[in-house]
Structure formats: C-alpha cells, structure tokens
Amino acid sequence: MNAATPAKLAIYEILLVDHNRLGLSARQSVLEEAGYRITATASPAEALEKFREQAFDLVITGYKLPKMNGIELIGQIRSHCATVPVIMISGYADALGLDSRSTGADIVIQKGANEVSHLVRAVARLAKRKAARKPPASQSDGSNPARRVRRRG
C-alpha cells in the first residue's frame, strides 16, 4: 500500500451515490481496493437516510440522479453537516461548467478516460487533509455538535 491509502490512517467512510449501477459498482471496487470503506446507493433519498444515520468522512455523488440532481443532494447534505467533503463526478461537468462554486462540491471531476485516477487522487488528498486536521479543544472528547449522527463502533 502506498502512503496515500487510508489503511495507515483510520478507516475512512465514504458514501457513494450514482444513478448508473455499473459506474457505482466500478467506483466502489476501485475505492475499496484502495482501502476505503464504501456505502453505495443509486438513490439520493437512500443516501440522505444513510447520511443521517451514520457519520461519513466523504460523499461522492454524480450530477444526474433520480428525483433530484447532485447539486440538490449536496445542498441537503451540507444542511446536515457543512464540513463533510464532497466530490461530484459528472459527464456534464465541462458542458455545463460545473465547478466547486456552482455545485457546492469540494472537487468536481469530469467523467472520462482519466476519471478513475482523478477520483483516487482526489479521495486520497481529502483523506490526508482530514487526517491532518485536529479537533478544537472543546471537541477533543470526540463529540461534535455539528455532526448529529451516530458513529459506528
């Protein structure tokens, strides 16, 4: 394992959301092989439910989703936890001019030939950034009032 993989850190929980089940499965396999723990769903409603029930270190979503788009999903996720990092992956990123400002995501990745390498590097970078952060002294006991979700034991 290289130094960027989270196995040398703590277990890194990722919520992965994409309407395309084949793409969802492929991304899940790549990220699990890199050492991340993935919860995957094709439904934004199910993603929101899972996000409310469990703490995630990162959310990865597509733009095109059933019943809402990725920007709407990011808005709802941010309303529950403004600090969780989010990556958006979309085949429409370039055509629609999707970027971090217009989507609310920390990183936007265009689907294509280099998508997998960009995704793995982006996740590693965000995981490293989280590991480098230390909680404020008032939250050093592990409680975080901004996160009203249960941590798995």
pLDDT tens for 37-83 read 999 999 999 999 999 999 999 999 999 999 999 999 999 999 999 99
DSSP one-letter code for 136? -
Mean per-residue pLDDT of the chain: 84
pLDDT over 90, % of the chain: 73
CATH topology of domain 7-135: Rossmann fold (3.40.50)
Between vectors from CA 66 to CA 13 and to CA 87, what angle results, nearest 5°?
35
- CA-CA distances (angstroms) from residue 58 to 84, 94, 151? 6, 23, 14
Domain boundaries, the chain: 7-135
- Asked whether the whole model's pTM tops 0.85, one would answer no
Contact 43, 20 (CB under 8 A): no
| CA pair distance 19, 43, nearest whole angstrom | 7
Q: What is the pLDDT of residue 99?
A: 92
| CA pair distance 140, 72, nearest whole angstrom | 32
Q: What is the pLDDT of residue 128?
A: 87
Task: Tell me which residue of 126, 19, 27 sits closest to 70, measured CA to CA.
Answer: 19
CA atoms within 13 A on the CB side of 30: 16
Q: Has residue 12 got a pLDDT over 90?
A: yes
Q: What is the pLDDT of residue 132?
A: 63
Q: What is the pLDDT of residue 133?
A: 57
